[in-house]
């Protein structure tokens, strides 16, 4: 029996709900060598800044139990290089393109939104939550007034849907979500990495040169699911859920909690086929429970009273 896997997210049609998380999938073409990534609903490209960034000094990645820490620091070639050299190749692939942007000032975010809106990409994901960068991200993403202000300003420069990526490193995630919604966000993505630290007990120094970094992987999944559920109950705009998704079962859990799209991140480093396998896993779930339309399960968790 044919199952409907199509999702309408902020007016953009996705062939299925599975996308990839920024920073874990390169610019897409790297994984296209393993399988045809047009099988995915969309790809989140590596985070971009207005100008090229070299990122943080190494070591900047460390393995942890059930996850990893990273302090890459948004190394990227800059938005102009992406548009000139990378995007033309991505447009040949039949999937949606989600462009993740970061900036040190509101003006940088606005300028990037202007440039990308006319590029043929499908969604802008605004990163206000990256814990690796010493300027911009942390300050923007942990204060509801600032989230409202930057969302409101950047939205005026967007001709395509604007999704705000929320930081979990806050006291009340629902408060931040409502601030972004009030500022005009078309959707939200959550969660970004949790701030963590790992120490080499023999050298008595942090493993990461930046001392701290973003924690991701299966270890964060219960926190991410909880936050998606809380935000779903606080806002009306659609959500992209992420944080430890490795299988179709993981993805379904996020969708039951309230996510319309699900993003595979760290799992791509362990299994290059993880995102494709997640699509197949969701299809098997629909078959098992004879569910005709994927949209039926969004937000359908029956919480205990």
Active centre residues (catalytic):
130
φ, ψ for residue 19, nearest 5 deg: -125, 175
CA distance 254 to 86: 31
Per-residue buried b or exposed e for 291-303, using 16+ beta carbons within 10 Å of the residue's own CB? beebbebbbeeee
Nearest by Cα to 130 from 156, 112, 149, 103: 103
Nearest 10 degrees: Cα torsion 136, 138, 139, 140: 80
Nearest 10 degrees: Cα torsion 253, 5, 217, 138: -100
Integer CA distances (angstroms), 56 to 74, 144, 207, in order = 8, 28, 13
Nearest 10 degrees: Cα torsion 275, 279, 280, 286: 150
CA distance 129 to 75: 16
φ, ψ for residue 142, nearest 5 deg: -115, 5
Per-residue buried b or exposed e for 101-125, using 16+ beta carbons within 10 Å of the residue's own CB? bbbbebebbbbbbebbbeeebbbbb
End-to-end CA distance of the chain: 36
CA distance 25 to 44: 7
């Amino acid at each position: 029996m044919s199952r409907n896997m199509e999702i309408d997210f902020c007016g953009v049609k996705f062939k299925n709900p599975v996308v990839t998380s920024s920073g874990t999938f390169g610019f897409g073409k790297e994984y296209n060598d393993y399988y045809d990534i047009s099988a995915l609903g969309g790809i989140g490209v590596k985070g971009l800044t207005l100008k090229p960034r070299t990122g943080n000094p190494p070591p900047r990645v460390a393995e942890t139990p059930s996850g990893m820490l990273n302090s890459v620091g948004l190394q990227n070639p800059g938005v102009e290089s992406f548009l000139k050299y990378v995007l033309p190749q991505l447009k040949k692939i039949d999937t949606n393109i989600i462009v993740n942007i970061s900036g040190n000032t509101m003006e940088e975010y606005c300028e990037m939104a202007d440039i990308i809106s006319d590029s043929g990409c499908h969604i802008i994901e605004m990163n206000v939550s990256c814990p690796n960068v010493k300027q911009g991200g942390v300050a923007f993403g942990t204060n509801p007034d600032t989230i409202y202000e930057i969302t409101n300003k950047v939205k005026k420069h967007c001709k395509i849907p604007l999704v705000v990526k929320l930081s979990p490193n806050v006291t009340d995630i629902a408060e931040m979500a409502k601030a972004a919604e009030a500022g005009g966000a078309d959707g939200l993505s959550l969660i970004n990495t949790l701030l963590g630290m790992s120490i080499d007990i023999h050298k008595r120094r942090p493993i990461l040169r930046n001392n701290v970094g973003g924690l991701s992987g299966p270890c964060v999944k219960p926190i991410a699911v909880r936050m998606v559920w809380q935000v779903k109950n606080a806002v009306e705009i659609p959500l992209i859920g992420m944080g430890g998704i490795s299988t179709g079962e993981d993805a379904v859990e996020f969708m039951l909690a309230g996510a319309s799209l699900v993003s595979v991140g760290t799992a791509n480093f362990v299994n290059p086929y993880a995102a494709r396998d997640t699509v197949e896993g969701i299809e098997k779930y629909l078959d098992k429970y004879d569910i005709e339309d994927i949209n039926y399960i969004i937000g359908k968790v029956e919480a205990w009273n």
